[in-house]
């Protein structure tokens, strides 16, 4: 069932009333001057907003979160701003992006599952359109209505057509890669066409229209160029801007400039355990995790470093070096954006938010793209890995390292799949300068941006159509020290994707993960005592299990979640066995 009848009736009534009265609600913040975007009543100049989204970045990859990868620009933002250590996203990219744009659950926003991976039960069902639903209002549209310039460059992944492009959902200027990913030098797409032959090319749209990517050196650099270009066009007109830098790094295929790969060529030859343990110790020293916390045991599903052949070790060390180079390049480009804001005098009045769209990509990418196409088209030898003619991911071994100290990675509702290394920087914040474990979610960002800009969400109708209200809570009072919490202590956070699910309430978390990664049954964890989700308390605390299961059923009903215990197995993900065999070829 999609939603309760009363809710549908309420949405329909809102649409009728809006249409009858001729209410467009196109400018919710009536006090805002639409020419300048400022609030003349308060005399306060509204802030610019720069939203930076990494793609498949692991929780512990950047320096501020314990990583050995050199990320001085992000580390500086973390030191001066707020470093959120308990920030949650969806387990995969497009559902997170739908939640980000709408402030609502992914099932409400049209991405109940990724467009590429619907099961027969989900196809054609409300909330499973695979595109950003017209039943939600993207917050950039509200910002634009209220006088903001709105810019976007990078990965969209919320609809392929012009009618579903960034230009149609609130962006004044946009250069979007509309698929899930692509090469960083050449433009072979990683989303194969319906014939499954892997012959598609990445698709781009500029301001909604089909575009051919110009000759570039590296897409991460190109997206930064576009954001700077867009901001520069109008920076003297007095209007604030919202800029969305949606980078594709470090999503597969792993590709980076040779000089940066060289920088890390020897770093990862020590193997998974050494890098993970070093990250764990740095995280403890920085106060990111408890000083008495014990490292989680390595998963028995995948081989240990010492069990790999010399050829496998060489391939793995190279792949992680390329990954590190991609993150390094990402940080350098974030530094370019920050430097530009400082040079133009905009930095002091710009809210900068950085996050990842999900946990690290530890899945075998040959489950996602045609193996035959990869093997016949690319040269994935160790020496060529990371260059334009290669096409690899970095597998479950490094995926678990990137997720340190948590369990599993992208595609899973465990903490390793849904915790994002999130940073909020704004010179006028009332909080900052140290790690903060306040629970927050990607759904909270849209209401935060709107409140910071002095804009109200229109509720259940917008421009004559019925829409869903936002479900997130604004971080703004917490960021400014006016509130001690973002959510109440008993806040319920439900999540489902790919037939895997979780329900969090306070410190308790209910998790369902299919075999062989999980038990194929509900497990209960106390995250305050067991943040790595290793000790199942479902049998020991049956009353708590029953309580959370009831909350889960309520979450399902409210959001129209299609769920049964067979969905996850239909996706046919491998357990990594093929990945390690491929390393030998």
As beta bridge partners, residue 500 has 497
Q: How many helices (H) and strands (E) does the chain have?
A: 16, 17
Secondary structure (3-state) at 275 = helix
Q: Return the structure tokens found at 580.
A: 């390690």
Region for 231 from its dihedrals, namely left if φ exceeds 0, alpha if ψ lies in -120 to 50, beta otherwise: alpha
| 27 part of the active site | no
Rounded CA gap, 463 and 585, in Å? 57
Secondary structure (3-state) at 182 = strand
Catalytic residue among 88, 93, 107, 468: 93
Contacts of 286 (CB under 8 A, 6+ apart): 64, 66, 435
Q: Could you tell me if 155 and 181 are in contact, meaning their C-beta atoms sit under 8 angstroms apart?
A: yes
Q: Could you tell me if 320 and 314 are in contact, meaning their C-beta atoms sit under 8 angstroms apart?
A: no
Length of the chain: 585
Rounded CA gap, 290 and 197, in Å? 48
Question: How far from chain centre, in Å, is Cα 491?
Answer: 21
Rounded CA gap, 280 and 67, in Å? 9
Q: Return the structure tokens found at 585.
A: 């070829």
Q: Could you tell me if 531 and 405 are in contact, meaning their C-beta atoms sit under 8 angstroms apart?
A: yes
Q: Report the run of H or E that residue 423 belongs to, with start and end.
A: strand 419-425
48 — phi, psi (to 5°)?
Answer: -75, 160
Contacts of 488 (CB under 8 A, 6+ apart): none
Rounded-to-5 percentages of helix, strand, coil across the chain: 35, 15, 50
Among 397, 410, 405, residue whose Cα is nearest residue 302? 397
| 157 part of the active site | yes
For residue 348, the 8-state DSSP code is G
- The CA-CA-CA angle for residues 35, 39, 41, to 5°, reads 125
Rounded CA gap, 509 and 499, in Å? 17
Rounded CA gap, 38 and 59, in Å? 36
* Longest Cα–Cα distance in the chain: 72
Q: Could you tell me if 450 and 139 are in contact, meaning their C-beta atoms sit under 8 angstroms apart?
A: yes
Q: Return the structure tokens found at 437.
A: 């474990």
Rounded CA gap, 284 and 487, in Å? 26
Q: Could you tell me if 223 and 151 are in contact, meaning their C-beta atoms sit under 8 angstroms apart?
A: no
Catalytic residue among 88, 107, 149, 157: 157
- The residues carrying an active-site annotation are 93, 157
């Amino acid at each position: 069932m999609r939603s309760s009848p009363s809710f549908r009736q309420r949405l329909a009534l809102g649409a009728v009333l809006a249409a009858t009265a001729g209410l467009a609600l196109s400018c919710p913040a009536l006090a805002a001057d639409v020419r300048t975007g400022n609030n003349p009543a308060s005399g306060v100049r509204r802030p610019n907003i720069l939203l930076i989204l990494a793609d498949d970045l692991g929780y512990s990859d950047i320096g501020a979160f314990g990583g050995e990868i050199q990320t001085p620009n992000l580390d500086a933002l973390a030191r001066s701003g707020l470093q959120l250590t308990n920030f949650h996203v969806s387990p995969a990219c497009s559902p997170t992006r739908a939640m980000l744009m709408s402030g609502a659950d992914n099932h409400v926003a049209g991405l109940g599952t990724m467009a590429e991976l619907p099961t027969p039960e989900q196809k054609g069902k409300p909330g499973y359109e695979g595109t950003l639903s017209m039943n939600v209002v993207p917050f950039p549209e509200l910002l634009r209505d209220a006088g903001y310039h709105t810019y976007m460059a990078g990965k969209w992944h919320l609809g392929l057509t012009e009618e579903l492009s960034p230009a149609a959902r609130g962006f004044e200027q946009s250069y979007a890669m509309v698929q899930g990913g692509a090469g960083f030098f050449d433009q072979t797409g990683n989303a194969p066409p319906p014939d499954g032959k892997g012959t598609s090319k990445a698709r781009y749209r500029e301001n909604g229209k089909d575009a051919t990517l110009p000759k570039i050196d590296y897409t991460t650099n190109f997206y930064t160029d576009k954001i700077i270009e867009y901001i520069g066009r109008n920076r003297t007109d007095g209007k604030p801007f919202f800029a969305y830098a949606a980078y594709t790094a470090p999503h597969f295929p792993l590709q980076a400039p040779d000089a940066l790969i060289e920088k890390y060529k020897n770093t990862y030859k020590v193997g998974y355990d050494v890098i993970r343990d070093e990250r764990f110790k740095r995280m403890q020293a920085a106060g990111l995790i408890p000083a008495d916390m014990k490292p989680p045991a390595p998963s028995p599903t995948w081989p240990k470093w010492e069990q790999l052949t010399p050829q496998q070790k060489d391939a793995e060390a190279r792949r992680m070096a390329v990954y590190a180079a991609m993150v390094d390049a990402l940080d350098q480009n974030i530094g370019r954006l920050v430097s530009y804001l400082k040079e133009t005098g905009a930095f002091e009045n710009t809210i900068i938010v950085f996050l990842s769209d999900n946990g690290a990509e530890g899945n075998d990418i040959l489950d996602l793209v045609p193996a035959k196409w990869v093997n016949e088209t690319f040269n994935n030898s160790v020496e060529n890995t990371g260059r334009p003619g290669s096409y690899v991911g970095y597998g479950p071994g490094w995926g678990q390292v990137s997720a340190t100290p948590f369990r599993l990675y992208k595609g899973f509702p465990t903490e390793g799949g849904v915790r994002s290394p999130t940073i909020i920087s704004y010179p006028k914040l009332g909080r900052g300068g140290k790690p903060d474990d306040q629970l927050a979610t990607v759904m909270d960002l849209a209401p935060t941006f709107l409140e910071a800009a002095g804009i109200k969400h229109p509720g259940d109708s917008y421009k004559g159509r019925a829409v869903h209200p936002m479900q997130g809570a604004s971080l703004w009072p917490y960021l400014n020290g006016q509130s001690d919490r973002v959510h109440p202590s008993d806040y319920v956070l439900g999540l489902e994707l790919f037939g895997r699910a979780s329900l969090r309430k306070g410190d308790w978390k209910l998790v369902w993960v299919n075999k062989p990664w999980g038990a194929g049954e509900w497990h209960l964890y106390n995250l305050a005592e067991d943040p790595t989700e290793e000790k199942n308390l479902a049998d020991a605390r049956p009353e708590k299990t029953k309580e959370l299961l009831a909350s889960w059923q309520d979450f399902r009903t409210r959001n129209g979640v299609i769920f049964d215990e067979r969905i996850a197995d239909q996706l046919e993900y491998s357990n990594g066995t093929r990945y390690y065999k491929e390393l030998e070829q």
